[in-house]
Amino acid sequence: MLGSKSKGDLKSWMKTLFIALGLSMVIRTFLFSPYIVDGASMEPTLHNQEKIFVNKVHPTDNFNRGDIVIIKGPNENYVKRIIGMPGDKIKMKDDQLFINGVLFKETYLSQNLKLAKQQGSKLTEDFGPIVVPVNHYFVMGDNRLYSKDSRNGLGFIKEARVVGTSEFVLYPFSNVRNIK
């Protein structure tokens, strides 16, 4: 038979456990969440099966060009880089990105550009100019030869579909790093 002290301890532990579970659910649902990268569309920045930390409290009016974001799809989520902001005029010509008529350097593509040139192809096919609608973004993967993105299937991304920004790689532990 449990004594009154044991019953009190059990109630205290149950209350603590309930609060901890509730807090973890709120944090994961509304603030931060892990996400597993599925596929090679963001290589070499992110690799297949890496687990990344997603900040869900990023206000939608504070997204920046170059942010790596998680996009909610009908059947799956996508991880992509924001290239075009609402109202931007985007054009790609000879693997050079022009935003509002100004050349935009994509330094994160240097490795993939080198590989594409070795294969005798372009990394990104020419397109545009296109204008990003209000309350939408234009996104692309860093591995442009193997990316389903705004150019070929995802279209312009509504602000409401952006889950959050990726902050850093959590796993594998040997690859823990900030993401830019």
Catalytic site residues?
41, 80
User: Which residue blocks in 45-147 are alpha helix, DSSP H?
Assistant: 110-118
Q: How many CB atoms lie within 10 A of CB 170?
A: 16
Q: Are 59 and 160 in contact (CB under 8 A)?
A: no
List b or e across 97-126, with b for residues whose CB sees 16 or more CB atoms inside 10 angstroms. Answer: bebeeeeeebeebeebeeebeeeeebbbee
DSSP assignment letter at 173: G
